[in-house]
Structure 1
Amino acid sequence: MSFPFARYIPRGPTLLIFGVFTGIALPALAETARPAMAVAIFVIVLGTLLRVDGSAFLRTLRQPRLSLFLPAMVMLVCPLLVTSAARGAGLSPDLALAMVLSVCAPPSGGTAAVARLLGFDPTLPLAVTLLSMALAPLTVPLLGQWLGGIGFDPYELALRLFILTAGAAAVAGLLRHYARRALARTGAAVDAAVFGALLVFAVATMAGVRAQIEADPALALSCVALAFACNLALQALGVVLTPGSLGERLTVGLTLGNRNVGLVWSAMGAATSPTMALFFAATQFPIYMTPRLIAFLMRRAEPETAKP
């Protein structure tokens, strides 16, 4: 079965960048999309769960590097590294906490869809994302409270994260049980729904950002620079530490760098300060722009690998 929106997926990296800048250029549209943020996150998580290949996932669990080392890197080591960097940089408490929480978040549910857009194997990011999401209700509140030390009730955040992830898992389980054949025929539609949710989320996260940029350009620029530095450093860490082909290494880099900040953002609700919201919004720039950069690098690498 064809899905009309699916034909736009090959242009996904470019369209996602377009979504971010549309949200800035059209503040009213971003404000309109803002209430849909939680729904978009739910769809992204649900789509991730629906696209899991059970046998491939079980094979992944048998590989300690993927089932233990990478989730530990994502959910424990990376937050510790970023916390050390944030404290060393002397950031304000709100900005430091926002950085810590953004990296405590599990990998973006859209990473597997982005991997498909780039021609990479999505099994690894799917598996690591699922394992990380299972840990998130425990690790995000505890690490955020311990490393950041301020700003929110860890038990309430844990409950909200659990509701989001467990709710999506329950719906995915029901769909897999009662509509298994339909799902097998509509994988492209699931990918398209995830991509559409990513696009809606990209626009929605820019709500209020234009006004904040105009009110305090220096702070906005600092948030964007920090978001890029954090994301690219984690991606570089993944590329350096991962054996295998360039595609596998870049996939691990995307998994480490691109986090589901919206999951934490949605769960925190009113506890999110304006500075934290600005940084969370800034994290969307590297998330949506680096796939375009990786596609460019892969095109440049292909002629080199083809040379005798």
Structure 2
Amino acid sequence: MQSSLLRLIPRGPTLLAFGVLLGLICPALADLAHPMMPTTIFLIVLGTLLRIDGEAVIAALRQPSLSVLLPAVVMVACPLTIGVAGYALGLSPELALAIVLAVSAPPSSGTAAVARMLGFDGAVPLVVTVLSMVLAPVTVPLLAGWFGGLEISAFELALRLALLIGSAEGVAFLLRRHAAPMLTAHGGLVDGIIVAALLVFAVATMAGIRAQIAADLQAAMLCLVLAVACNIALQVAGAALLPGTFAQRLTVGLILGNRNVGLVWSALGTAASPRMALYFAATQLPIYILPRLIETLIGRDKRKARA
């Protein structure tokens, strides 16, 4: 079992892209996995918290660029900018709000694992993700309330997010306190569990999407184009505007572009309209497919360097 999970890690980007396609090709499998979405989100968040290094957190807190600036950019500046752009483009209020909610989510809890799969440093994504998750119960409801249109109060949304994140933090605290040596020795296994949970989540997010695509292909294509464009724009902005090495800038791009939309989606529950759910599902495609493309580009770059 452990060796099987460990073998998932280097194949992660390919597996995650496969999960989305599998969910679309096999709707019955996606429907079967759909009830497991909250559980997979919990496992992904828990795994991220278990992989955090206390020394890395302390070091990050001493760097305002990591502890203040980058989380503020991720959780406030990005959703505000994208939201204003969405309304300026004349998108429907429902779709514009869906985009704001997706971008207001903290970085994907699997970003650190994906960064390590790609050969990048996973410490920065871990720290920024954890700090962003602390901010999420405050910033997400405020942004949702500011843009308006949700069938759920800001307080209830904040409470749901706090319970989801807080429960994972509580379990992580207990495990780190009573099983710290084991967690240190088996960090790769935790990454494997995160990848497995991401794979199940990727399949689950496609539940009902094939039927929605068949019912309204134009709306589905619009959501897909917007989701891919938004992710790429954020990744390019992060990689181009912030300083650092090539690998560091690509890592920041992953942090900005790949969001834990499932966390917000799970917290919204039935308050997420079918059109919102369609957009949220569309965001999974670039989240899971772009790392595979980045892996290919990095491989070509390394081959050129050796030549």
Pair in the same fold by TM > 0.5: yes
1:154 shift after superposition: 1.0
Look up the equivalent residue of 2:172 and give its one-letter code. A
Q: Tell me the equivalent position of 1:79.
A: 79
Partner of 1:154: 154
- Residues 213 and 149 of structure 1, relative CA distance in 2, 3 Å threshold: closer
1:189 equivalenced with 2:208 (yes/no): no
Distance 1:286 1:148, change over 3 A: farther
CA contact (8 A) 1:100 1:148 kept: no
Return the alpha-carbon distance in structure 1 between the equivalents of residues 3 and 148 of structure 2: 44
**Aligned counterparts of 1:4 and 1:14: Cα–Cα separation in 2:** 16
Q: Distance in 2 between matches of 1:114 and 1:71?
A: 19
Letter in 2 for 1:170: G
CA distance in 2, matches of 1:287, 1:148: 26
Report the counterpart of residue 237 of structure 1 in structure 2.
237
**1:80 offset after TM fit, Å?**
0.9
Question: Structure 2 matches for 1:149-298, cutoff 5 A?
Answer: 149-298=149-298
Partner of 1:142: 142
Shift of 1:180: 1.1
For residues 8 and 142 of structure 2, what CA distance do their matches in structure 1 show? Answer: 40
Query: Which amino acid counterpart does residue 190 of structure 2 have in structure 1?
Result: V
Quote the Cα distance in structure 1 between the aligned partners of 2:93 and 2:22: 30
Give unmatched runs, 5+ long, in structure 1. Answer: none
Instruction: Write the deviation string for residues 271-299 of structure 1: whole angstroms up to 9, x where unpaired.
Output: 01000000000000000011011111112
CA distance in 2, matches of 1:302, 1:189: 27
| Separation in structure 2 between the aligned mates of residue 147 and residue 285 of structure 1, nearest angstrom | 25
CA contact (8 A) 2:87 2:93 kept: no
**Conserved 8 A contact 1:71-1:131:** yes
Please say which of residues 246-255 and 294-303 is displaced more in the overlay. 294-303
Residue type of the alignment partner of 1:22:
L
For the aligned residue pairs, the C-alpha RMSD in angstroms reads 1.2
Write the distance in 1 (CA, Å) between the matches of 2:300 and 2:109.
Answer: 27
| CA distance in 2 between partners of 1:197 and 1:53 (Å) | 21
Preserved contact between residue 101 and residue 144 of structure 2 (Cα < 8 Å): yes
Checking the alignment, whether the CA contact within 8 Å between 2:8 and 2:195 is kept in structure 1 is: no
Instruction: In structure 2, give the amino acid aligned to 1:13.
Output: P
Instruction: Give SS of 2:230's match.
Output: helix
Code of the residue aligned with 1:194 in structure 2: it is: I
Normalising by structure 2, report the TM-score: 0.97
Q: Distance in 2 between matches of 1:94 and 1:22?
A: 28
Contact 1:3-1:188 at 8 Å conserved across structures: no
Residue 55 of structure 1, CA deviation: 0.6
Distance 2:76 2:298 in 1: 30
Amino acid at match of 2:72: A
Aligned to 1:41: 41
Q: 1:152, CA displacement in angstroms?
A: 2.5
What's the secondary structure of 2:9's corresponding residue?
A: helix
Q: Moved runs in structure 1, 4+ residues, more than 3 A?
A: 148-151, 303-307
1:17 CA displacement: 0.8
Q: CA deviation at 1:304?
A: 4.3
Contact 2:209 2:278 in 1 (8 A): yes
Q: Deviations over 1:244-290 (max 9, x none)?
A: 11110000000000000000000000101000000000000000011
How far apart are the structure 2 equivalents of 1:306 and 1:143?
47
Identity %: 59
State the alpha-carbon separation in 2 of the partners of residues 201 and 2 from structure 1. Answer: 20
Contact 2:47 2:194 (8 Å CA) reproduced: yes
Instruction: Tell me how far 1:234 sits from its aligned partner.
Output: 0.4
Q: Residue 105 of structure 1 aligns with which residue?
A: 105
Contact 1:48 1:110 in 2 (8 A): yes
Taking structure 1 as the reference length, the TM-score comes to: 0.97
Aligned residue identity for 2:39: V
Counterpart-to-counterpart distance in 1, 2:148 and 2:82: 11
Q: Secondary structure at the match of 2:168?
A: helix
Kindly provide the amino acid, as one letter, of the partner of residue 84 in structure 1. V
Q: Per-residue deviation at 1:192?
A: 0.7
